[in-house]
Structure 1
Amino acid sequence: MKVTIPTILTLLRLVAAPAMALVFLVFDRPLADWVALALFVAASVTDWIDGYIARGWGMVSKLGTMLDPIADKAMVAAALLVMCVTSSLGWWLMVPGVVILFREVFVSGLREFLGDVAGTLAVTRLAKWKTTVQMVAIAVLLAEGIARNHAGMAAATMDPAKVRAILDRSTADVQSLRWWADLAWGLGWSGLMLLWLAAVLTVWTGVDYFRKAVPHLKEPE
């Protein structure tokens, strides 16, 4: 097997997937949220970097080609599972999350069945947009967890009456409680809408891929 720099980056991205879940067992929140966000953003950046190096420097390898889509899907799956457990929007995230995971499993199985033919089915620009929207949505939702936990930490030092007064804007927001709460609300709903958009694009691109694969699934006459 040929191990190149892009392959090493892909392997690191693959390791980062389970690490995103483990950080919530090792660290308290919001530190765990910060580490998970850093891991996800770093993995998303290396996804672009290793592809650029592999193509630009002629370092494409069979091992890297095999591992790259696995690492991408592992990162998305791990992040969605983590958010369904840790996020206050858990149930709202479940439906688009299941749609995204179902599509990835279905298309992966279809590619495995098609074998070498799968390589002839080109990745569309819309599929690339789907991946981008997924990554941005997950990063925003992980950031929502950070803001929500900082708001909770600020509220924990106050009595309920003062918390209500700050949130109602009837008293000064000395400990930035309202700022963190507003940020969490904005990030939460922005991330949720982006994830639903990603789910729609996921279904769209999945149907398009299946449509292209249909001629190869017909029984020989």
Structure 2
Amino acid sequence: MNMTLPNILTVLRLLAAPALALMFLYFSRPAADWFALILFVMAAVTDWFDGYLARAWKQESKLGAMLDPIADKAMVVIALMVIVGYSSMSPWLVLPATFILFREVFVSGLREFLGDTAGTLKVTKLAKWKTTLQMIAIAVLFAQGVFEHYLGMAVLDMGPETFARVMEGQTQDVYGIWWKNAGMVWAGNLGLVLLWIAALLTLVTGWDYFRKALPFLRD
């Protein structure tokens, strides 16, 4: 195995995927949300960086080509599992997550079945945009969790009437409740919109891969 710097970054990104879930097992929230957000963003940055370095330094390898999509899928699947698991199980979140997970399993199964002919399912530009949108959406949803828990800590001993007065500007906002609530709402809505767009791209690219594989599936 050729352990160049791009390959090392890819391996680290692969190891970071299960570490996302471990953050929520060994740390309390919102610290776990912060650690998961930072870890996910760093891993997403290396996703672009390792590919760029491999091309710039002419260090592209079979190991990197094999591990790179696995690391991407592991990061997305585990991150979505964590976000859905700690959410209110809203169908607006569960549905796009389901579409994304189904597509990843389906395409992986297609590639495994095709074996040597799996080269027909090369990653397209649209698929790369899909992955980028997924990464951004998940990062924003992790940020939403950070806002949500800081808001929860700020209003822990506050009644609904006091909260309403603060939001209406009738009571001084000592704990920054307004901006924490605004951050939670905006991050949650933006994350869901981006996740739905990514899910639609996921279905489109999944259908494209299935169409390309059809000639090899006919007896």
User: Which TM bucket (shorter chain)?
Assistant: over 0.9
Q: Distance in 1 between matches of 2:40 and 2:91?
A: 22
Q: Scaled by the length of structure 1, what TM-score is found? A: 0.94
Q: Distance in 2 between matches of 1:53 and 1:126?
A: 22
Q: Distance in 1 between matches of 2:7 and 2:164?
A: 52
Q: Distance in 1 between matches of 2:118 and 2:124?
A: 13
Structure 1 position 91, deviation (Å) = 4.2
Structure 1 position 92, deviation (Å) = 2.8
Is 1:38 matched with 2:35?
Answer: no
Q: Distance in 2 between matches of 1:89 and 1:176?
A: 28
Partner of 1:76: 76
Taking the TM superposition and a 5 Å limit, the aligned residue runs for 1:92-171 are 92-171=92-171
Deviations 1:150-195 (A, max 9, x none): 1111111434432221123322212101110111011101111111
Partner of 1:47: 47
Partner of 2:15: 15
Partner of 2:173: 173
Q: Distance in 1 between matches of 2:189 and 2:83?
A: 14
Q: Distance in 2 between matches of 1:184 and 1:217?
A: 46
Partner of 2:85: 85
The alignment covers a number of residue pairs equal to 219
Structure 1 position 137, deviation (Å) = 0.6
- Tell me if the contact between 2:41 and 2:139 (Cα under 8 Å) persists in the aligned partners: yes
Percent identity of equivalent pairs: 59
Q: Unpaired segments of 5 or more residues in structure 2?
A: none
Secondary structure of the equivalent of 1:156?
Answer: coil
Letter in 1 for 2:176: S
Structure 1 position 207, deviation (Å) = 0.3
- Tell me if the contact between 2:120 and 2:212 (Cα under 8 Å) persists in the aligned partners: no
Q: Unpaired segments of 5 or more residues in structure 1?
A: none
Partner of 1:61: 61
Partner of 2:25: 25
Q: Scaled by the length of structure 2, what TM-score is found? A: 0.94
